């Protein structure tokens, strides 16, 4: 069937060229978009022609309905879709013949005036027509949108053509990033760029992607976080910096994880994690209010209320509330025993802090639906954060949870070079991967030159956009998500399951 379709289009292409028409011209002058035409003329009367204004617009033909010597079609541009009216008497035989060689999926440029049909639809009466690009393959499921998830992710262009709601998600994504950028700019932050390839992986506990620089004859790692470079800038004298860019982590994929993802990371001199909580609240609520005009949105089956102030709980408090365990009152052995009673195997963990974190992840995270800051993490799992004032077993760190998912991570940044080196060495000692057993000596040297007190914050843009667009999977908010090869997808997919 597809072969017959392609043959038919090839034959039309030959006829178009034989008529002296270039099926792929260089440009077309556009003076209007579909949405603005519809909005401007929505109040004209049925049957009324607005002949005083002529529009020139271009886009893809989405439908064609022929009625003898007249025809209706719909043209889609980036703003939306509008109906076109073609008439042999208006176009003339030459342009009518060109129109008869057009197909759904072709790009066309049209010029004409506006009227409203008997059914009340604002329509452009086409007086001039130009083919702008001949499509050789059919659009998917012409009238019903593209529903196949695999095709939507692998061939995003088809998804965008067929599903206006998908295109709206990516407009919203751009708006979210723009709002964050504008907010930080007004707060005096400077946007910077730091290396995407590192000689030593660092800034987060994650497995890196490895590459090789031929000229330098050395391995390099795609960055897992920009943290250590951004803090070098604080050492250098910048007081407020941020970066919105890609990170890469060579780990599993799920509805919450893509190996390539976008983060905003920022640092502010003379601030701590309490300042970062206030900044996070203000930044996200400003974006939500600007985009939706309200601080209450629906995600999946829950209403999320961003009204400030957001709830704040220490990790120990969250474990007590949601797991029923008073971790502060138990030693490590007692905590392991208590874990067994609630169905958690904690026997492999080396420290009390790691056990508390495991209890939190298994029993508390999913219950944090409304925006909640979880504060005061165990020192064992936070090598880049300062000790909590008054309790050296904890650090001044928070993570923001919404709908049971982490959305932000922040610290009162550690700026003691000796303590930082000690923690790095302890972290390196626990790593199994050879690539991760490397100490960033230059970062320690930078700290030895003096870094002021600072607060740092990282927010996952993809997860935030998921939340703000009611998208179920991270792949819905990344234009071109990473996918397994198609043959592997088919081989690994089980009956009744969709590949992750």
Domain for residue 344, yes or no?
no
DSSP string, 12-32: HHHHHHHTT--SS-S------
What span, in angstroms and rounded, lies between the C-alpha atoms of 276 and 375?
12
Q: Say yes or no: 180 and 295 in one domain.
A: yes
Q: What is the pLDDT of residue 3?
A: 60
- Report whether pLDDT(90) > 90: yes
Q: Say yes or no: 286 and 430 in one domain.
A: yes
Q: What is the CATH number of the domain that holds 392?
A: 3.30.930.10
Q: Which domain holds residue 267?
A: 162-310+370-492
Region 396-420: mean pLDDT is 96
Q: Say yes or no: 11 and 130 in one domain.
A: yes
Q: What is the pLDDT of residue 145?
A: 61
Domain for residue 444, yes or no?
yes
Q: Say yes or no: 108 and 34 in one domain.
A: yes
Domain for residue 428, yes or no?
yes
Q: How many domains does the chain have?
A: 2
70, 105, 139: which is the final residue of a domain? Answer: 139
Region 459-470: mean pLDDT is 97
Q: What is the pLDDT of residue 435?
A: 66
Domain for residue 113, yes or no?
yes
pTM for the predicted model, two decimal places: 0.89
Domain for residue 69, yes or no?
yes
For 114-163, the pLDDT digits (tens) are: 999 999 999 999 999 999 999 999 887 654 567 788 888 999 999 999 89
Q: What is the CATH number of the domain that holds 111?
A: 2.40.50.140
- Report whether pLDDT(89) > 90: yes
Q: What is the pLDDT of residue 290?
A: 95
For 291-327, the pLDDT digits (tens) are: 999 999 999 999 999 999 999 999 999 999 999 999 8
CA atoms 282, 288, 292, 298: torsion sign = negative
Q: Say yes or no: 47 and 181 in one domain.
A: no
Q: What is the pLDDT of residue 205?
A: 77
From residue 279, how far is each of 166, 272, 284, 456 by CA, in Å? 30, 11, 9, 11
139, 154, 187: which is the final residue of a domain? Answer: 139
Domain for residue 157, yes or no?
no
Mean pLDDT of the chain: 91
- Report whether pLDDT(494) > 80: no
Region 487-498: mean pLDDT is 42
Q: Say yes or no: 227 and 123 in one domain.
A: no
Domain for residue 93, yes or no?
yes
pLDDT-derived band at 2, boundaries 50, 70, 90? low
Q: Say yes or no: 97 and 240 in one domain.
A: no
Region 287-292: mean pLDDT is 96
Domain for residue 336, yes or no?
no
Q: What is the pLDDT of residue 141?
A: 66
Q: Say yes or no: 214 and 65 in one domain.
A: no
What span, in angstroms and rounded, lies between the C-alpha atoms of 232 and 296?
38
pLDDT-derived band at 332, boundaries 50, 70, 90? confident
Q: What is the pLDDT of residue 76?
A: 97
- Alpha helices per DSSP H over 41-86: none
């Amino acid at each position: 069937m597809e072969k017959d379709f392609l043959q038919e289009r090839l034959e039309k292409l030959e006829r178009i060229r034989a008529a002296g028409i270039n099926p792929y011209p260089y440009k077309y002058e556009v003076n209007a978009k579909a949405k603005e035409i519809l909005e401007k003329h929505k109040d004209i009367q049925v049957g009324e022609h607005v002949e005083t204004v002529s529009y020139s617009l271009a886009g893809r033909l989405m439908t064609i309905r022929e009625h003898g010597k007249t025809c209706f079609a719909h043209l889609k541009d980036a703003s939306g879709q509008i109906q076109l009216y073609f008439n042999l008497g208006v176009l003339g035989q030459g342009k009518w013949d060109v129109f008869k060689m057009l197909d759904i999926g072709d790009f066309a440029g049209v010029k004409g005036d506006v009227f409203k049909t008997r059914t009340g639809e604002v329509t452009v009466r086409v007086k001039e027509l130009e083919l702008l690009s001949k499509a050789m393959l059919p659009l998917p499921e012409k009238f019903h949108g593209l529903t196949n998830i695999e095709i939507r992710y692998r061939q995003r262009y088809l998804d965008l053509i067929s599903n206006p709601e998908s295109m709206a998600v990516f407009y919203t994504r751009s708006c979210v990033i723009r709002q964050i950028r504008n907010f930080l700019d007004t707060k005096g932050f400077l946007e910077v760029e730091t290396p995407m390839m590192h000689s030593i992986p660092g800034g987060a506990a994650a497995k890196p992607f490895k590459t090789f620089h031929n000229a330098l004859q050395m391995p390099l790692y795609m960055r897992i976080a920009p943290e250590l470079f951004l803090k070098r800038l604080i050492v250098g004298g910048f007081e407020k910096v941020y970066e919105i860019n890609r990170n890469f982590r060579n780990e599993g994929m799920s509805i919450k994880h893509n190996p390539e993802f976008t983060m905003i990371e920022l640092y502010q001199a003379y601030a701590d994690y309490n300042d970062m909580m206030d900044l996070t609240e203000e930044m996200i609520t400003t974006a939500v209010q600007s985009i939706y005009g309200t601080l209450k949105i629906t995600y999946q089956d829950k209403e999320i209320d961003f009204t400030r102030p957001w709830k704040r709980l220490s990790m120990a408090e969250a474990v007590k509330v949601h797991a029923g365990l008073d971790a502060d009152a138990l030693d490590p052995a007692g905590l392991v025993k208590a874990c067994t009673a609630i169905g958690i195997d904690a026997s492999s963990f080396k420290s009390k802090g790691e056990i508390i974190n495991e209890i939190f992840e298994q029993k508390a995270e999913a219950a944090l639906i409304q925006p909640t800051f979880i504060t005061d993490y165990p020192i064992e799992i936070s090598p880049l954060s300062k000790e909590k004032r008054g309790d050296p077993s904890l650090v001044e760190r928070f993570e923001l949870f919404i709908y049971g998912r982490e959305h932000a991570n922040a610290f009162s940044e550690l700026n003691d070079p000796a303590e930082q080196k000690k923690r790095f060495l302890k972290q390196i000692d626990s790593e199994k991967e050879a690539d991760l057993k490397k100490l960033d000596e230059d970062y320690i040297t930078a700290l030895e030159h003096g870094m002021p007190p600072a607060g740092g914050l990282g927010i996952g843009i993809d997860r935030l956009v998921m939340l703000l667009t009611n998208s179920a999977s991270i792949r819905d908010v990344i234009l071109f998500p990473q996918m397994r090869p198609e043959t592997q997808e088919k081989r690994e997919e089980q009956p009744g399951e969709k590949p992750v």
